[in-house]
């Protein structure tokens, strides 16, 4: 049962700068050790283990053992959504700025938000899919249309194996931190990200959520979704 106390406990956990740094490092979906997260946060591995124990107990982080190592990752996509929303609120609280979101142009252009695409690329893809009638988007919900189900299937993207000919809520809008407009999350958002990585349209960069869009990726975005490469990145 959700209570004011349980909400406050989560708020206290994500209100610590050290823990926020570690949670942000996990937002690209990777699983990292306590030592790796300690390096990110600038603390000792022992201190990191203490923080991670609290995050695990609150179901914000999950742990998997492999040999002698313990790997930590965000427990659910909802945790990533919470962090992305908090970044947006923090940007608004800081007052108006010429540019919101990350300073790194690569992160603004294309990045992962846990298991789906974010940044300019994620928002542009959501806009294109809505314009072409593949999805229908509202403020709090999104649906894949029957036409969208057929079109995605031709690309080999099956976000829901049980989908029928009617529209199904297999995706949802996720307000983008840097663009301040929605990109697509949910099963479809994850399937699109996975498809782009497998097809070589985007590549993960080491030690960051940023994605490189390949020349083949720009061609596919133009030919399939009418998305043109921005003149300024």
Q: For the domain that residue 37 is a member of, what is the CATH number?
A: 1.10.10.10
Per-residue pLDDT at 169: 52
Angle made by CA atoms 28, 34, 39, in degrees to the nearest 5: 75
Q: Which helix (H) or strand (E) holds 112?
A: strand 111-113
Region class of 226: left (phi > 0), else alpha (psi between -120 and 50), else beta? left
Q: In which band, very low, low, confident or very high, does the pLDDT at 48 lie, cut at 50, 70 and 90? A: very high
Give the confidence band of 176 by pLDDT, cuts at 50, 70, 90: confident
Q: Across all residues in the chain, what is the average pLDDT?
A: 86
User: Residue 231: its pLDDT value, please?
Assistant: 76
Residue 186 lies in a domain: yes
Task: Give the residue numbers spanning the domain of 50.
Answer: 4-75
pTM, two decimals, is 0.70
Model confidence at 133, pLDDT cuts 50, 70, 90, reads very high
Quickly state the pLDDT bin for 100 (edges 50, 70, 90).
very low
Query: Is residue 232 one of the residues assigned to a domain?
Result: no
Q: How far, in Å, CA of 215 to CA of 84, rounded?
A: 28
Any domain includes 126 = yes
Q: Are 108 and 217 contained in the same domain?
A: yes
Tell me, yes or no, whether 188 lies in a domain: yes
Instruction: Note the maximum CA span of the chain.
Output: 54
Arithmetic mean of pLDDT, 118-144: 91
Task: For residues 114 and 55, state if they share a domain.
Answer: no
Nearest Cα residue to 48 out of 69, 34, 61: 34
Of all residues in the chain, what percent carry a pLDDT higher than 70? 88
| Residue after which a domain boundary falls, among 42, 75, 108 | 75
* Residues 105 and 215 placed together within one structural domain of the fold: yes
* Section 65-86 average pLDDT: 87
pLDDT of residue 107: 87
User: In this structure, is residue 117 part of a structural domain?
Assistant: yes
> Does residue 138 share a domain with residue 205?
yes
**Per the structure block, which two tokens stand in for 210?**
């940023």
> In terms of domains, do 71 and 101 share one?
no
Pick from 22, 45, 75: which residue ends a domain?
75
Query: Six-digit token pair at 217?
Result: 């990726």
207 sits in the region (left: phi over 0; alpha: psi -120 to 50; else beta) called: left
The count of structural domains within the chain is: 2
Same domain, 108 and 12: no
203 domain residue, yes or no: yes
pLDDT confidence of residue 148: 92
Q: Identify whether 231 is part of a domain.
A: no
Whether 176 and 215 map to the same domain: the answer is: yes
Tell me which of 36-40, 111-115, 174-178 is least confident.
174-178
| CB burial of residue 161 (10 Å; 0-12, 13-18, 19+) | exposed
141 and 104 in one domain?
Answer: yes
Q: Render pLDDT for 189-216 as a digit per residue (tens, 0 to 9).
A: 999 999 999 999 999 988 788 999 999 9
Residue 232 predicted with pLDDT over 70: no
pLDDT at 162 over 50: no
CA distances from 210 to 59, 110, 120, 225 (A): 26, 6, 11, 21
Task: Give the separation between CA 218 and CA 225, rounded to whole angstroms.
Answer: 10
DSSP state of 171: E
Q: Are residues 27 and 118 in the same domain?
A: no
Question: How confident is the model at residue 233, as a pLDDT?
Answer: 52
Say if residue 129 is in the same domain as residue 221. yes
Instruction: Return the pLDDT at 95.
Output: 58
**What was the pLDDT predicted at 161?**
47
176 contacts 118 by C-beta, under 8 angstroms: yes
Residue 184 sits in the same domain as residue 130? yes
pLDDT at residue 211, as a whole number: 94
- For residues 168 and 208, membership in a common domain is answered with yes
In a domain, 233, yes or no: no
Q: Is the pLDDT of residue 16 over 50?
A: yes
């Amino acid at each position: 049962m959700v209570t004011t106390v349980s909400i406050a406990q989560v708020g206290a956990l994500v209100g610590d700068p050290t823990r926020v740094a570690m949670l942000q490092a996990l937002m690209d979906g990777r699983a990292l050790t306590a030592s790796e997260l300690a390096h990110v946060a600038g603390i000792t591995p022992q201190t990191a283990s203490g923080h991670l124990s609290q995050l695990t107990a609150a179901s914000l982080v999950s742990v998997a053992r492999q040999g002698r190592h313990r790997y930590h990752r965000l427990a659910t996509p909802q945790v990533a959504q919470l962090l992305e929303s908090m970044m947006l609120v923090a940007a608004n609280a800081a007052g108006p700025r010429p540019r919101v979101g990350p300073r790194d142009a690569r992160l603004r252009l294309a990045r992962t938000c846990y298991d789906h695409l974010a940044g300019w690329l994620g928002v542009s893809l959501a806009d294109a899919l809505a314009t072409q009638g593949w999805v229908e988007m509202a403020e709090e919900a999104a649906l894949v249309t029957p036409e969208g189900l057929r079109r995605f299937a031709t690309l080999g993207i099956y976000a829901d194996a049980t989908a029928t000919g009617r529209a199904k809520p297999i995706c949802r809008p996720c307000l983008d931190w840097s663009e301040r407009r929605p990109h697509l999350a949910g099963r479809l958002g994850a399937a699109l990200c996975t498809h782009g990585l497998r097809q070589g349209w985007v590549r993960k960069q080491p030690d960051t959520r940023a994605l490189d869009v390949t020349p083949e990726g720009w061609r596919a975005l133009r030919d399939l979704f009418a998305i043109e490469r921005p003149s300024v990145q």
